[in-house]
Amino acid sequence: MPGSENYLQDFLNYLRVERNLAKNTQQAYLDDLEDFWKFLAQKKIADPGKIDHKILTDYARDLKKRKMAETSVARHFSSLRAYYRFLVMEGHLATDPTQFLDSPKLPSSLPKILSIEDIELLLNAIDTETPLGLRDRALFELMYAAGMRVSEVCSLTSEQILLDEDLLLVRGKGNKERIVPLGEEAKKWLLEYLEHGRPQLTKRYFAEGIIFLNNRGQALQRKGIWFILKKLAEKAGLNKPVSPHTFRHSFATHLLEGGADLRIVQEMLGHVDISTTQIYTHLDSTYLKEVHSSFHPRARK
């Protein structure tokens, strides 16, 4: 957008340095803003200070004409709000034109979780007599024990495993670090894999200390983990959608069901905002209602 390049670069520096956002997140902001600049170019508007509510409303209509999903529209609006708040914060604008911009109402959906029994079924379906089986058992035990994202487990290195302290140093979004307990079962299978599985997978490739390798000795990728989990769910006879992120959701929910403090769960998940973690309290309250309905003598007539 003519006349706003310096503002945009300052904004991207702000996202990178002050908010410490991951490169993918920075790029998502940039993509959304560039889409808006194209729309403004059609309107022959070159000054970001000339934006008003009518222009934003026209842009919303334009997005809907393109049959963009409401989730994508909401993301575009979120990017615009962040950019214009930044301009006001830096003194480039006196008022924020996006302050009255209404995002589409999105259906609230709770994350899918596995029961403790489902987790046991999945883990016990793994053939641990092979190097790849030992890897898979250690991998999913770790994801469930530490609530790790699939990207975090793919990039896990030996220096992040603090075995003597039973802890993991997890590097999350924006390269932010957090400490998470390892747990006895995860530690047991991780040691089995490191001693008897990984040495047989390490071949002519050098994976720079990466823990989880594929059958070619290279770092296991997220697509590989998705494929492994899909086959494992079929083998275990689980007739429900399962993804790597399901382990993370299950980790958080089972902790809260067991009485863990919400702030502690937030810390272990690496959530910056506790409101992100609070979605699991809805899951927890659903579980509590089910228990109350099943066992309280006056819950049912």
* Residues that are catalytic: 149, 173, 245, 248, 271, 280
Integer Cα distance of 85 and 55 in angstroms: 17
- Cα gap 100→286, rounded to integer Å: 34
116-124 and 222-236 helices, crossing angle to 10°: 100
Residue 170 backbone dihedrals phi, psi, to 5 degrees: -95, 130
Q: Tell me the angle at which helices 131-146 and 116-124 cross, rounded to the nearest 10 degrees.
A: 160
The span from the CA of 270 to the CA of 237, in Å, is: 32
Quote the distance between the C-alpha of residue 68 and its chain's center. 23
Residue 176 has what DSSP assignment? Answer: -
